[in-house]
Amino acid sequence: MENKSHALAAGLFVIIVAALLAGLAMWLTRDQTDYRLYELSSKESVSGLQPQAAVRYKGVAVGKVRSIGFDPQASGNVLIRIAVNTDAPISPTTFATLGYQGVTGLAHVQLDDAGTALPPLPRGPDGLPRLPLQSSPLSQIAEQGPAIMGQVQDVMARLGSLLGDENQQSFGTALRQLGAAATSMNRLVQRLDNTVATRLDPALAGLPALTQDAQQSLRALRQAGASTAGAADEVRGVLRALQADDGLLTDIRTSTQSLAVAVDRFGRVTLPRVNIAADEAAQAARRLGRTASGISDNPQALIYGPGRGAAGPGEPGFAAPAAQP
């Protein structure tokens, strides 16, 4: 009995704690925002739109989708009920579209404003105001898809007929003719280049100007000949002045002869004297060297004179040194 009472107490404790946690979660997640309900009616597909999907006004979240069902006033239409924040600027120009997020396929309700006021829609059976739901870009593309595919098929059929066998042969013939025309044009251009290279017509047109240029050239040649003759006369005068008795050539010849005499005198007189002076200087240097060596060997000679040197072996007065004990 005691075990059953403990189990009952533990069960009641778990239930109470779970209830408290659920209440706390509901209290924390409660939405105290004031909403205003609107309805949207559309004959298009609303695939990807789920309850609790976001409602955005120009990209700003202002509410959520409450429910999705069918419109009892219009057979085949989808009725979407949305809750919009009372602070959202809903006006007579506001309309709704379905927006899609990326590649997930999830849809949301997008609110926006038109440039002018839209005609008001009648209220639903619940008395809620309705907003016009316009087609989204994807829906418009889906609607125009069959027409686009039909146009593409028409274009492909025309391309097939254009690229048929007969047209291909015609294209080949036209290309060959174009190649022949290009070859002929190339030959014509080469002939024109040859004609321009010969410059026959320009040469004929330029004969008067060429004659005038030749006359000017002849006059310039005459002037140049006269200038050359004058320059030749001046050169002759300069040569005569150089070859005169008192001219520059004569002075150069005289200076050269004087220089040769001076060089000969230097070789015959000055050089021997210089050699003799060099020999005497060498003898004096040797005597001075012997004197310096003697002073270095006998410094007392500067005070007592050189004296008489000790007799060497074989000389008179030489005495052998005594043997040390």
Segments in the chain forming alpha helices (H): 2-28, 137-162, 165-198, 200-205, 207-243, 248-265, 271-297, 301-304
With 60 as the cut, is the pLDDT of residue 145 above it?
Answer: yes
State the average pLDDT over residues 141-153: 73
The position carrying tokens 């007929």 is 161
Q: What is the model's pLDDT at position 205?
A: 56
| 111, 88 Cβ separation under 8 angstroms | yes
Residues ≥6 apart with Cβ < 8 Å to 99:
56, 107, 108, 109, 110, 136
- Sheet containing strand 35-42, edge to edge, reads 35-42, 78-85, 60-70, 54-57, 107-113, 94-100
State the average pLDDT over residues 291-298: 65
State the average pLDDT over residues 205-210: 56
| pTM value > 0.85 | no
| 152, 101 Cβ separation under 8 angstroms | no
Q: What is the model's pLDDT at position 142?
A: 58
230-245 per-position pLDDT tens digit:
666 666 666 666 566 6
Give the phi and the psi of residue 182 in degrees, each rounded to 5: -65, -40
250-263 per-position pLDDT tens digit:
666 676 677 776 66
Q: What is the model's pLDDT at position 291?
A: 67
With 70 as the cut, is the pLDDT of residue 176 above it?
Answer: yes
Q: What is the model's pLDDT at position 116?
A: 83
With 60 as the cut, is the pLDDT of residue 309 above it?
Answer: no
Ranges of each domain in the chain: 30-135, 236-291
With 90 as the cut, is the pLDDT of residue 207 above it?
Answer: no
d(CA 125, CA 145): 35
56-115 per-position pLDDT tens digit:
998 888 999 999 999 888 888 899 999 998 888 888 889 998 888 766 778 889 999 887
State the average pLDDT over residues 154-163: 77
Highest mean pLDDT among 85-99, 116-130, 203-217: 85-99
Please state, rounded to an integer, the average pLDDT across all residues of the chain: 75
What tokens does 175 get? 């290309």
